[in-house]
Amino acid sequence: MDRSYLSHAGVIAASREFVCIRPLTYESAIEAPFLESLFRGRSGNLENTVFAMLGPDAKTRLCRTGRSPGFAFRSPDQMAAAMKQILRKFPSTKTAPRPLPLLPNVRLGLNVSSCDNTPLAIIYSPDQAVRTKLQQQLATLAWDKNHIGQIQFCVATRAEELKSLAGKTQKPGILIVQPGTYGNNGQLVSAVDPDTTPAELGDAIDFALLVSEFQQKTMRQHIVRGQQLGVNWKTAIPVTDSGGSRRRRPRN
Amino acid sequence: MIRRIVPLLLPLVMTLAAPPADAAERIAWYSTLKQGLAVAKATGRPILLVSAAPHCHGISGIW
């Protein structure tokens, strides 16, 4: 996928008025049929990536769907202009609070935050009421202009879910973690207790953003080194995009 | 109360406050269809959808 589209300033600015969804391909048997209904490759199977812009009903297609934004737009500028035009058709009338965007679990949270080079905030408590309160606190922070898109979030209810983390992670609260290079582990950077104040929570998040260090990854080096280290990510459903693998297979 | 994981560093770093100025703007994504589609329906906002696999050749940590 040409990521220049999704890092384009105009596209990012317009995205603030869209609901942006990035499903994790091959990680949900429930989501796969919907993605396949939007786009299938020449093989007839679900490909690694799917791109679409849809109406709020999730049925109306607002542009050509495909494997990437490049299927619909010649350039990031054209995509940004099209998004602005779409927004004119959907004037903002309803004001509903935006919930905290949550990754499905800690395992995927670590992996996705590693892919994005962002910290991961884990809401950890066996108590549903505590988790709900912490999620609401984090939601306010997640959508403010200083933090939007800068950190990933997920929930843990049991200590076993935190076994891939280094550092003291036994106490409930919000644990902010720097993911490892391959997203299969993480290092605790800061944490707050369940009775934290919004100001303390903000300080802990900002601290993690300041001290987390991420290396720029290059595809080939990352894959070769990962193979040497024995990294082997298991997907929830079979990967069916063999064409993409053939095209990008690294030389060993 | 903040658990000071790095007790000596935290006060120093927090004097700098706020997220780093060079933090690149990013799109904020919902990661599940269930959550994202519910928000779209509730708010009447259009949807930007880009699915992606968080691995390549079985190696995680890269899109």
The pair of structure tokens assigned to B48 is 């930007």
- Is residue A247 very low, low, confident or very high in pLDDT (cuts 50, 70, 90)? very low
The verdict on residue B33 lying in a domain is yes
The type of residue at A140 is: T
Contacts of B42 in chain A (CB under 8 A): 94, 96
Q: How far is A53 from chain B (nearest CA, A)?
A: 5
Domain with B26, as residue range(s), is: 21-60
B53 within a domain of the structure (yes/no): yes
d(CA A145, CA A79) in angstroms, rounded, equals: 23
Does residue A41 register a pLDDT over 90? Answer: no
- Count of domains observed in chain B: 1
Q: Give which of A97, A95, A71, A93 is closest to A82, Cα–Cα.
A: A71
**Top-level class of domain A106-211:** alpha beta
CATH 3.40.30.10 boundaries in chain A: 106-211
DSSP state of A183: S
Cα distance between residue A29 and residue A19, in whole Å: 22
> Which residues of chain B neighbour A38 with C-beta distances below 8 Å?
49
Chain A hits for B3, CB-CB cut-off 8 Å, are: 168, 171, 173, 190-193
Residue B19 binned pLDDT confidence (cut-offs 50, 70, 90): very low
Nearest to A101 among B20, B23, B28 (CB): B28
Q: Report pLDDT for A246.
A: 43
pLDDT digits (tens, 9 = 90+) for A52-105: 999 999 999 999 999 999 999 999 999 999 999 999 999 877 777 899 999 999
Length of chain A: 252
Of B2, B23, B35, the CB nearest to A102: B35
For the cut 70, the answer to whether the pLDDT of residue B21 exceeds it is no
**Spatial contact of A180 and A106, defined as CB atoms under 8 Å apart:** no
SS3 A24: strand
Is A18 within 8 Å of B46 (Cβ atoms)? Answer: yes
CA–CA separation, A174 vs A150, rounded Å? 16
Residue B9: inside a domain, yes or no? no
Task: Please provide the average confidence, as pLDDT, over all residues in chain A.
Answer: 92
pLDDT higher than 90, residue A175: yes
B56 in a structural domain? yes
| The A50-54 sheet, strands edge to edge | A19-21, B47-51, A50-54
Question: Using CA atoms, how far apart are residues A78 and A124, in angstroms rounded to an integer?
Answer: 42
Alpha-carbon distance of A16 to A143, in angstroms, equals: 10
Please check whether residue B14 lies inside any domain of the structure.
no
**Residues of chain A neighbouring B27 (CB-CB closer than 8 A):** 6, 11-12, 15, 20, 149
Residue among A102, A150, A200 whose CB faces B31 most closely: A102
Residue A244 has pLDDT above 60, yes or no: no
Per DSSP, A162 falls in state G
- Indicate whether B1 belongs to any domain: no
Which chain B residue lies closest to A7 (C-alpha atoms)?
B26
Which residue would you say has higher pLDDT here, A203 or B22?
A203
Residue B8 near chain A (CB below 8 Å): no
Tokens of B51: 């699915």
3-state DSSP of B9-47 = HHHHHHHHCCCCCCCCCCCCCECCHHHHHHHHHHHCCCE
Outline where DSSP puts E strands in A16-151.
19-21, 50-54, 120-124
SS3 A195: coil
Per-residue pLDDT, averaged over B5-26, amounts to: 49
Residue B12 reports pLDDT greater than 60 = no
Report CA dihedral (A182, A188, A191, A194) to the nearest 10 degrees.
70
By the 8 A CB rule, do B39 and A88 touch? Answer: no
Measured between beta carbons, which residues in chain B are less than 8 angstroms from residue A107? none
Q: What is the pLDDT of residues A106-153, one digit of tens each?
A: 999 999 999 999 999 999 999 999 999 999 999 999 999 999 999 999
How distant is the Cα of A43 from the closest Cα of chain B, in angstroms?
18
Residue B4 lies in a domain: no
Q: What is the distance between the terminal CA atoms of chain B, rounded to a whole angstrom?
A: 36
Q: B3 touching A, CB under 8 A?
A: yes
- B5 part of a folded domain: no
pLDDT of residue A70: 94
pLDDT at position A251: 37
| Residue A157 and residue A126 in contact, taking contact as beta carbons nearer than 8 Å | yes
